[in-house]
Structure 1
């Protein structure tokens, strides 16, 4: 068995890591990385460094599963990337305490979580498609807003066809890339 590498995180500066650090030390973690950051959309240097230190056979140890990620999808992705590198995950307490991917029962629990995450992804995809379809039925525009109006496209096409302006000059004047202008004109035909 490789090295146990700990990771501890709290969401705010006012919270402290003492409880997590004690549990990780008692679990035999040789190195412990820390973050004081919300899990939602923030860079977590401690987690990045902990994962970077792991080599095949090592185990990343966390106090509770929610310290590692905010959503099931994030957790599954992280655990899958650890597994791909030959690194295990062990959760010490809380609802995820049955996860220890170095043991068969932990891999089984992880497998069930992965199936649930895939199901959740499919539900999200279905809801997104249904929402887009409903929005289209109401006449709403779907996707990124167009960079050029129909008037700008007609004017640019006219200038290019007459030979008075080059695509490059028109694109620069309109503040778009030449490829954007070319696609807009081609799409207007």
Structure 2
């Protein structure tokens, strides 16, 4: 027997589920999973239990779309997963249900918008990085040694009695960093184990 299963969520413990519960009951939901969790929170145990309870032919019903997904891409992914399982989806406030051709069309428009949004975010990120590079800024970590320190280290290491390990300790970096930034090659330190 196909069931209509409801999912209701509020963001905080202060809010009440009464409005959603009443709407889902009136829409014919025999079981309602209820949760108090932020939409930004990835872990929603009641939603997971609800999804496990759904069988092919069932319909997941929510009061509003924002009760189910954390974002448009998240919502589209959840509904796509439901569709693969043969489970219908219905949102009461927006009057969207994926069991009809018109409902599926509307949801595919949402999916296209979600993909468009992801593309815009990628483009803005790339444009921001390009603008930063044009101003001379590069991403990644700040260098461990500045140009003045590198010059000082090179002067210190001209003295054969100064070990790379001592300089590295004094500057608070590893020997590898000294070799990398100063181009120092002292194979004898590796062989003799004086580092």
Q: TM-score range by the shorter chain?
A: 0.7 to 0.9
Question: Which residue of structure 1 aligns with residue 53 of structure 2?
Answer: 53
Larger radius of gyration: 2
CA distance in structure 1 between the partners assigned to 2:186 and 2:85 by the alignment: 57
2:80 counterpart SS class: helix
For 1:7-26, list aligned pairs within 5 A. Answer: 7-26=7-26
- Paired position in structure 1 for 2:27: 27
1:32-181 mapped onto 2 (5 Å cutoff)? 32-93=32-93, 96-97=94-95, 99-143=96-140, 145=141, 149=144, 152=174, 153-155=176-178, 162-163=190-191
TM-score normalised according to structure 2 size: 0.72
Query: How has the CA–CA distance of structure 1 residues 164 and 77 changed in structure 2, closer, same or farther, with 3 Å as cutoff?
Result: farther
**1:72 CA displacement:** 1.4
- Provide the secondary structure at the position in 1 that maps to 2:38: coil
Measured in 2, the distance between the counterparts of 1:32 and 1:163 equals 71
Give the Cα separation in 2 of the matches to 1:112 and 1:62. 19
Deviation, structure 1 residue 31: 1.4
User: For this pair of structures, how many residues does the alignment match?
Assistant: 161
TM-score by length of 1: 0.74
CA–CA distance in structure 1, aligned partners of residues 192 and 32 of structure 2: 67
Q: Secondary structure at the match of 1:140?
A: coil
The Cα of 1:100 is off from its aligned counterpart by: 0.5
Moved over 6 A (4+): none
Q: Give me the whole-angstrom Cα distance separating, in 2, the residues matched to 1:21 and 1:159.
A: 74
1:90-118 CA distances to partner (integer Å, 9 max, x unpaired)?
A: 0111xx22x20111111010011111111
- Unpaired runs of 5+ residues, structure 2, are 146-172
Deviation at 1:2, TM superposition (A): 2.2
